[in-house]
Structure 1
Amino acid sequence: MAGFWQMTVAFRKYLILVFVPLVFLPLPLAIPTKEAECGYVIIVMALFWCTEALPLAVTALLPVLLFPMMNIMDSTTVCQEYLKDSNMLFIGGLLMAVAIETWNLHKRVALWVLLITGVRPALLLLGFMVVTAFLSMWISNTATTAMMVPIAQAVLDQMHKSEMEFVVTGQGHENVNKAFELQETPSKPDGVKEESEKGSTHVLTLEEDRKINENLLEKEHKKFSKGMSLCICYSASIGGIATLTGTTPNLVLQGQINQLFPSNGNVINFASWFSFAFPTMVVLLILAWFWLLILYLGFNFRKSFGCAADATTKAKEEQAYKTIKEESKKLGPMKFPEIAVLTIFILLVLLWFTREPGFIPGWATVLFNSKDSYVTDATAAIFVSILLFMIPANIGYTVSDREQTGGKSKIRAPPALLDWKTVHEKMPWNIVFLLGGGFALAKGSEESGLSAWLGTQLTPLEQIPAPAIALLLCLLIATFTECTSNVATTTLFLPILASMAEAICLHPLYVMLPCTLAASLAFMLPVATPPNAIVFSYGQLRVVDMAKAGFMLNILGVLTITLAINTWGSSLFDLQTFPSWANRTGTCP
């Protein structure tokens, strides 16, 4: 029996690939409608995505095969969904991120901020969280975490080393554990008093005291290391929600809105998203900081903020600060490539913010008389990406060694800031297919009539208050995303949420926006998101540590998002009224 079970577990992916399509095959056979056929495709893809029986990107290609076979959409129409405007925005943003990583600009920014915040425990925690969240807004959360964890480990090791040296040398004996000596002195028996006069007991007491202090310091170091590891992986997930290109679910939302509601007036762009999501990110980051501060440093805020620092604490803080400073010095002064990449990055952000800010005409309207249709955020991203391949990495040239033939030196031009080999190695092409598969599913749901059918089935939800609907859906998505890719989660749920909102005459963004943000609240399990897996691989954390800290953070995240959508989000997107562009069926007033 044990052998059979082991065999089943070993071959579970192949069993899923065979049995899932067969188990649900009666659905389109018993109900031979396009709605049922499209539902069958969605169910199969959802289960493949949840179980990862196939790679996520390969599962995303199934509509190219199944939609034409089921007569839902022709192959040409399906394939056109795989490279939409949102995909090009994703590629452009990633090319910028690859350039930043290539020239180590992100590491320089991280060390600058840490030198500003200082190394007192609470501020050190905040410094790493701010740096990680900021970098995750622009580059992938995986790359951000992979860079920040070794830096944090080096700082913590140096702090612990200096603290242990201070105790071993006896300099911190009086400061670290005075209570031990006070408890031992009054209760000595006569025999010990005699030995005490010879000095042997005094040496023993100091040795025991030192061991106790070392154990206490080791325990505190491990606890603080856990808090630091969690703060980095959580900040990487939180920071990504602030910008449209920060994490893929944000782009899924933009693509789905444009796909399902073509006349939405470009309601989701970089500027509008940032205006809503950045304050949400800041509030959630502060709450996460307070929660981790209490969980791993306790309620002694005077000690956490260094207000009552003793000699030992000051010594370890000085050593930690020195470590960060040395890492910064290793980078040297900013070189031409770093300055060029930083300048191009600032240009990209300015182009995104000023393309169509809303309160004044943007450069797209002024220069090209194009507010909605022609020039988009993807246009700016691709323009800047092309610049990275055109601008040389140096302003001079190099002279190579003399060639074997002719005996003449050869002048070589400097390489560009970015080359295709580097891009090919670092670009996650699978996400491009994953995005495309989501857009194909949304289009298939619309063409088959499945979206309209779902909408009619969800009309009883009209009796529930809108804030309660948003809260419950956020909790559902936050739970679902712990076990499934956040991209797959948003891809599956957003078209259904759009149909539901249209059926009950609720602004689609009122449920789609908070659920998209909730898809990034993967804090409880190591497998939930790559940053969690990276910090877990360092061996300091247990699953229970991450689950305990992540559960409360999930609750705080859902409450923060619900607050955001009912306050500044409601005003920003005018969520109190049902928009005309969402009234596709004409059933809403």
Structure 2
Amino acid sequence: MCIFVFPLMCVCVCVCVCVCVAQCAYVIILMAVFWCTEALPLAVTALLPVLLFPLFGIMQSKDVCMQYLKDTNMLFVGGLLVAVAVEHWNLHKRIALRVLLCVGVRPALLMLGFMGVTAFLSMWISNTATTAMMVPIVQAVLQQLNSEGEPGESPPILCSSEDPGLEVEGETKPPSNGGDLPGRLTGGMILSICYAASIGGTATLTGTGPNLVLTGQMNELFPQNGDVINFASWFGFAFPNMILMLTLAWLWLQFVYMGFNFKKTWGCGSVKTEKELAAYKVIREEHRRLGPMSFGELSVLGLFVLLVLLWFTRDPGFVDGWATNLFNERAEYVTDATVAIFIAILLFILPSKGPRKCWGRRNTYEADEPSGPSVPLLTWRVAQKKLPWNIVLLLGGGFALAKGSEVSGLSMWMGEQMSPLKTIPPWAIAIILCLLIATFTECTSNVATATLFLPVLASMSQSIGMNPLYIMVPCTLSASFAFMLPVATPPNAIVFSYGYLKVADMAKTGIVMNIIGILCITLAINSWGRAMFQLDTFPAWANNTGV
């Protein structure tokens, strides 16, 4: 019903006030309602500018369509292809189990290990895929720690490898007999996974959708910004904030679900119990089942490390990077997207098996090995199945909205309406907006939230003479702070589906997590963020734009 009724209610805006500003505002309001209510699929709603902007005379169709495949979209596709390869070769599971073997099974350290591994993996691969893999591991370990009888063999860990998109598939649910695990420890451990996934994704530019929306909007609204937001600069700002948030989240979850009984949770001065030994055995057995690293795993790991190194050294900021010296002296020819696509293409070229006469093989051909070319590290069939194409359209829809707002004059009009905010201290504006966005993102997609708010915030910052990054960076991070409701984000939905938590549990714990996140962002943007992005000055690139 909303699909038909709401457009008719708002169409008077275009009929009575036939100006481009009102027409563009109508499109944005319509998309905001559809994104919040999910009356249409999120990606389908993102296509509305292709239909409505030409009909209203705001932009030509060819200009609108060009917004849907920009540099940021290619950065997303390249980064996700590498993440799909990591998933496909089970590298993420190997890393997780290896770290858990190192930290042990004392409750406090075990939670720290789970959160650390989840956050690290979420920096590089989908938050949803990371959560879907980690929760069964947590479940198997806690079955041994919480078992009433004698510790015994644990059932195999069922790790889902579902499409890391916005939808949560049925296969992520646990076996029917998994809901018997007692104690608050289980709830805290399970909840720590989805929190760590959301926090970890904020640390890298490709870790979560809102970060990519920010860099895309910066390039769209402020084309002369000098690549102020790139992989290296974002990591330098967001990674310390992620570490701080993760530590405080760990302490908060300990307090709520374990208390501060150091002898019990840390195992100070005590000997490991049979249950703890059995839990450790579960982790060790799962790691053993993976076997030795194959040629394909090592190749993907090598390409992943190469990707990260090239991203960091392309334009680190404090010195000229390799791209500046080799390619970008006259213009910015090589970007982070170039690097991501280069590594992604290599995944489809390099073989998944080493030469027959090396890599620990005998010189003689084995009869059971088929002759012919080896399968590449990543096939298009796997990539097509696992890549969340809907996010590509969501990002494109956001860029189309930003361009339409600029062309129609809506951005300038909104900026003029917000000029009275000059009297409010910048830090107060930032906190209020972060609270607003953290609340809004509990009800709608974090990518859609960032897409709707960031162009408005850019206009507001220009109108009051504030560095746009002082507002846009904290609000981008806040769009990922969906800690309170199961429906807020796919990782929350996955952990809630296991039946160990109530909505009230998530809400009570999550509201404090939102406050922790906003306080951490406020500290970050007013300390090292102020120095990194020179937030005390109004930059020339923001003053000269036509927004």
Work out which of the residue numbers 339, 355, 372 in structure 1 matches 2:314. Answer: 355
Q: Is the 8 A contact 1:145 1:233 kept in 2?
A: yes
Counterpart in the other structure of 1:208? none
Superimposed CA distance per residue, residues 253-312 of structure 1 (whole angstroms, 9 cap, x where no aligned partner): 0000000000000000000000000000000000000000000001212321111536xx
Which structure: greater helix fraction?
1
Work out which of the residue numbers 443, 464, 472 in structure 2 matches 1:483. Answer: 443
Distance 2:545 2:300 in 1: 48
Work out which of the residue numbers 105, 110, 117 in structure 2 matches 1:124. Answer: 110
Letter in 1 for 2:391: I
Superimposed CA distance per residue, residues 427-473 of structure 1 (whole angstroms, 9 cap, x where no aligned partner): 11111001000000000000000000000000011000000000000
Work out which of the residue numbers 262, 267, 271 in structure 1 matches 2:232. Answer: 271
Letter in 2 for 1:67: F
Distance 2:371 2:300 in 1: 25
Give the deviation of 1:411 after TM superposition: 2.4
Distance 1:528 1:305 in 2: 32
Q: Is the 8 A contact 1:478 1:519 kept in 2?
A: yes
Counting matched residue pairs gives: 513
Work out which of the residue numbers 378, 385, 389 in structure 2 matches 1:418. Answer: 378
Give the deviation of 1:158 after TM superposition: 1.5
Gap change, CA 1:233 and 1:280, over 3 Å in 2: same
Superimposed CA distance per residue, residues 476-528 of structure 1 (whole angstroms, 9 cap, x where no aligned partner): 00000000100000000000000000000000000000000000000000000
Which runs of 5 or more structure 1 residues have no equivalent in the other structure?
1-14, 167-217, 403-408
Give the deviation of 1:358 after TM superposition: 1.1
Distance 1:586 1:394 in 2: 53
Out of 295-304 and 499-508, give the one that drifted further.
Answer: 295-304
Which runs of 5 or more structure 2 residues have no equivalent in the other structure?
152-178, 357-363
Counterpart in the other structure of 2:268? 307
Work out which of the residue numbers 228, 236, 243 in structure 2 matches 1:282. Answer: 243
Counterpart in the other structure of 2:162? none
Counterpart in the other structure of 1:394? 353
Give the deviation of 1:159 after TM superposition: 1.6
Give the deviation of 1:396 after TM superposition: 3.7
Give the deviation of 1:338 after TM superposition: 0.6
Counterpart in the other structure of 1:548? 508
Q: Is the 8 A contact 1:111 1:328 kept in 2?
A: yes
Gap change, CA 1:341 and 1:17, over 3 Å in 2: same
Q: Is the 8 A contact 2:434 2:478 kept in 1?
A: yes
Letter in 2 for 1:482: E
Distance 1:586 1:79 in 2: 21
Counterpart in the other structure of 2:150? 165
> What is the correspondence of 1:490-509 to structure 2 with a 5 Å cutoff?
490-509=450-469
Superimposed CA distance per residue, residues 49-106 of structure 1 (whole angstroms, 9 cap, x where no aligned partner): 0000000000000000000000000000000000000000000000000000000000
Distance 2:477 2:139 in 1: 30
Counterpart in the other structure of 1:233? 194
Q: Is the 8 A contact 1:266 1:372 kept in 2?
A: no
Superimposed CA distance per residue, residues 172-204 of structure 1 (whole angstroms, 9 cap, x where no aligned partner): xxxxxxxxxxxxxxxxxxxxxxxxxxxxxxxxx
Give the deviation of 1:318 after TM superposition: 1.1
Give the deviation of 1:585 after TM superposition: 6.5
Letter in 2 for 1:341: V
1:433 lines up with 2:393 in the alignment: yes
Work out which of the residue numbers 258, 267, 270 in structure 2 matches 1:297. Answer: 258
> What is the correspondence of 1:130-279 to structure 2 with a 5 Å cutoff?
130-161=116-147, 164-165=149-150, 221-279=182-240
Letter in 1 for 2:309: L
Letter in 2 for 1:386: I
Identity %: 64
Counterpart in the other structure of 1:105? 91
Superimposed CA distance per residue, residues 117-153 of structure 1 (whole angstroms, 9 cap, x where no aligned partner): 1110000000000000000000000000000000000
Distance 1:65 1:72 in 2: 11
Distance 1:106 1:478 in 2: 29
Give the deviation of 1:365 after TM superposition: 1.4
Counterpart in the other structure of 2:174? none
Letter in 2 for 1:546: M
Q: Is the 8 A contact 1:399 1:410 kept in 2?
A: no
Letter in 2 for 1:464: I
Q: Is the 8 A contact 1:356 1:371 kept in 2?
A: no
Q: Is the 8 A contact 1:400 1:412 kept in 2?
A: no
Give the deviation of 1:369 after TM superposition: 3.7
Distance 2:466 2:135 in 1: 43
Distance 2:533 2:221 in 1: 17
Counterpart in the other structure of 2:78? 92
SS in structure 2 at match of 1:81 = helix
Give the deviation of 1:29 after TM superposition: 1.6
Distance 1:54 1:127 in 2: 39
Q: Is the 8 A contact 2:221 2:545 kept in 1?
A: no
Q: Is the 8 A contact 2:146 2:181 kept in 1?
A: no
Work out which of the residue numbers 497, 515, 525 in structure 2 matches 1:537. Answer: 497
Superimposed CA distance per residue, residues 320-363 of structure 1 (whole angstroms, 9 cap, x where no aligned partner): 11111111111111111110000000000000000001111111
Distance 1:62 1:578 in 2: 34
Letter in 1 for 2:216: G
Q: Is the 8 A contact 1:61 1:433 kept in 2?
A: yes
Gap change, CA 1:323 and 1:410, over 3 Å in 2: closer
Give the deviation of 1:32 after TM superposition: 1.2
SS in structure 1 at match of 2:69 = coil
Distance 1:301 1:25 in 2: 63
Distance 2:355 2:459 in 1: 58
Distance 2:299 2:7 in 1: 52
Q: Is the 8 A contact 1:265 1:372 kept in 2?
A: no
Give the deviation of 1:586 after TM superposition: 9.2
1:36 lines up with 2:22 in the alignment: yes
Distance 1:585 1:350 in 2: 33
Distance 1:141 1:505 in 2: 36
Give the deviation of 1:565 after TM superposition: 0.6
Q: Is the 8 A contact 1:364 1:371 kept in 2?
A: no
Letter in 1 for 2:486: P
Out of 388-397 and 236-245, give the one that drifted further.
Answer: 388-397
Give the deviation of 1:421 after TM superposition: 0.2
Distance 1:228 1:34 in 2: 52
**What is the aligned-residue RMSD (CA, Å)?**
1.9
Distance 1:439 1:586 in 2: 16
Counterpart in the other structure of 2:474? 514
SS in structure 1 at match of 2:201 = helix
Give the deviation of 1:395 after TM superposition: 1.5
Distance 1:332 1:85 in 2: 39
Q: Is the 8 A contact 2:422 2:464 kept in 1?
A: yes
Distance 1:400 1:342 in 2: 27
Gap change, CA 1:371 and 1:93, over 3 Å in 2: farther
Q: Is the 8 A contact 1:250 1:516 kept in 2?
A: yes
